Chains A and B, each alone.
Chain A
Amino acid sequence: MRLTAYFILVYLVIGVQIGMGDFVRVGSSGARPDLVLLAVIFIAIHAPRDAALLGAFGIGLVKDMTTLSPLGLYAIAYSLVAMFTVSTQELVYRAHPVTHVMLGFAGSLFAGAVVLIHGWIKGPPASFAEVFGSALYTALLAPVILGALNLAKGAFSFRRRQRAF
């Protein structure tokens, strides 16, 4: 995976999330989409395992530096999402919108679970309604965002996984 393309993706997606996140909230719970998570899923679904896990950890760490959440929280959350997504690489059709919706929903729930557990242990408590709403919202946007990122897949030069047989 080309590091230049990776860093540009991280910079752009976190910048866009910082800029527009508060203006796209919906519902009484204030749910908002997690565009950074979709970038993690994009990396994890295409990159080799090692690069995907490190890449997801790095994206989470950079996001942690721009939030009130403690340093390391989203590094853990996105690493778990990447582990799950990497395990499905051989099982799913990577470009299919249904795959994107399911991974977006499941990934958001994984990340949200980490945030909820942290809020329960250390505080402040997070809102389950907001986490679930965000998961739905992210899943709905996943085909659009991941579809657009797939068009730029060539810039990342993902290495193909070698088949065992």
Chain B
Amino acid sequence: MRLRFNQVFVGLLVLAILSAFVLPADITNRLRGFQAIFAPVSRPTRAVASSVHDRIAPRLHHDTRNADDVKDENEQLRVLVMSLSGQLDELRRVTNDLDQLGDVKQHCTRFKVIGGDPSGRGSLLLAASTRDGVREAQPVLSGQGLVGVIDHVGLAGAQVRLITDRDFKVSGRFLRFDTKSKNGEQTLATKIPLVRGAGNGLLEVQNIEMKETALSDDPLKEKVAVGDYVKLEDPLWPPNLSGKLLGQVETITQQSGAPQHALIRIRPLIDLLQLHEVMVMNKLETNTAQVASEKSAATTDH
């Protein structure tokens, strides 16, 4: 009896080792997708933990500007947004392709977050399923920018890989808000940053040279500085997400293993792990974006 149990248990361990270390994740992901089963326990627990956390450790605000400066900037931005909206409407009217992009929210569905990853990875569990039209690799957004991407989904739950997870990477661009410029922002002409999740709620960029950062004295280059923002600019993502904010530069230091390159740490504008609901872009047909790009390519050829 003991010998038979040992054989069974060793067999189970071998299967687990194969699954964890050998098989690709997309094979075993088909067996997952039952996160929502734990919602009756996790959601009230999360609500209690969230309210206690907010009392004990309220969110810090790093903006030290006085209220009058903030109000002046808000007024300038409000006028700028109205002007840009008018220009965008006119462009949409002229070009049919842009009609198909439009406001991102119309392509999204809101879902409640039922909890975080119990192993500490950067992910959220959603009360969403394949019956809601949620599929793998669909972008996930919040009002403040990109949250992540659907990693796997089943009949009773979906899991979001956050942009701060160590296995997430995307191309972006650094930008600086400048109310004096024509469109309100200035995209910095640095090398294209490869933005990776660093864990613990942070992103990092390691492929920018020191001379392209504010740590260098080079007067001729546009340089990244603390306080600049990072936006999504990646051809592998839907075009109407281009420009979505990923976060704000928090620190710039020299890489210890590569002194010519900077280690740029970026923090998302909100704590992604404490979100209560997110928007999943589950209504955008991917071939819509492909048709738009094919049409523009054909127009260019002619």
Which A residues contact B (CB, under 8 angstroms)? 11-12, 14-24, 28-30, 32, 36, 50, 53-54, 57, 60-61, 63-76, 79, 115, 118, 121-127, 130, 134
Would you give the shortest CB distance from A161 to chain B, in whole angstroms?
14
Interface contact B41-A11, CB-CB below 8 Å = yes
Interface size on B, residues (CB 8 A): 58
Closest 10 CB pairs of A and B: A15-B41, A19-B45, A18-B115, A124-B166, A72-B19, A72-B16, A19-B42, A20-B49, A72-B20, A23-B49
Instruction: List CB contacts (< 8 Å) of B105-152 with chain A.
Output: 114-123, 125, 151
A21 cross-chain contacts in B, Cβ below 8 A? 115-118, 120
Interface contact A71-B28, CB-CB below 8 Å = yes
Interface contact B46-A19, CB-CB below 8 Å = yes
B15 cross-chain contacts in A, Cβ below 8 A? 72
- Overall SS of chain B's interface: helix
Known pairs A18-B38, A50-B5, A118-B21; A67 contacts B118 (CB<8 A): yes
CA distance A164 to B31 in the complex (A): 43
Interface contact B19-A70, CB-CB below 8 Å = yes
Known pairs A18-B38, A23-B53; A63 contacts B119 (CB<8 A): yes
Known pairs A18-B116, A63-B119; A24 contacts B49 (CB<8 A): yes
Would you give the shortest CB distance from A126 to chain B, in whole angstroms?
8
Among B5, B48, B116, B201, max chain A CB count under 10 A is at: B116
Known pairs A23-B49, A70-B20, A71-B20; A65 contacts B199 (CB<8 A): no
- Interface flag for B32 (CB, 8 Å): yes
Known pairs A71-B28, A130-B200; A66 contacts B35 (CB<8 A): yes
Known pairs A79-B13, A127-B200; A68 contacts B121 (CB<8 A): yes
- Overall SS of chain A's interface: helix
CA distance A139 to B225 in the complex (A): 41
Would you give the shortest CB distance from B295 to chain A, in whole angstroms?
37
Interface contact B125-A65, CB-CB below 8 Å = no
CA distance A21 to B122 in the complex (A): 12
CA distance A134 to B5 in the complex (A): 33
Interface contact B199-A74, CB-CB below 8 Å = no
Interface contact B49-A67, CB-CB below 8 Å = no
CA distance A22 to B273 in the complex (A): 6
**Can you spell out 26 A-B residue pairs with CB atoms less than 8 angstroms apart?**
A15-B40, A19-B41, A21-B118, A22-B115, A22-B116, A23-B50, A28-B200, A54-B9, A63-B118, A65-B32, A66-B32, A66-B38, A66-B159, A67-B123, A68-B123, A68-B165, A71-B28, A72-B18, A72-B20, A72-B28, A75-B12, A76-B16, A76-B20, A79-B13, A130-B199, A130-B200
Smallest CB gap from A36: residue in B: B118
Q: Can you name 14 extra interface pairs (CB under 8 A) apart from A20-B49, A76-B16?
A: A11-B41, A15-B115, A18-B45, A18-B115, A23-B46, A29-B200, A30-B201, A50-B2, A65-B31, A65-B35, A66-B35, A68-B117, A71-B28, A74-B119
A71 cross-chain contacts in B, Cβ below 8 A? 16, 19-20, 28-29, 31-32
Smallest CB gap from B30: residue in A: A71
Interface contact B17-A19, CB-CB below 8 Å = no
A72 cross-chain contacts in B, Cβ below 8 A? 15-20, 28
CA distance A64 to B33 in the complex (A): 11
Interface contact B9-A18, CB-CB below 8 Å = no
CA distance A50 to B166 in the complex (A): 36
Interface contact B118-A14, CB-CB below 8 Å = yes
CA distance A16 to B38 in the complex (A): 9
Among B2, B13, B123, B167, max chain A CB count under 10 A is at: B13
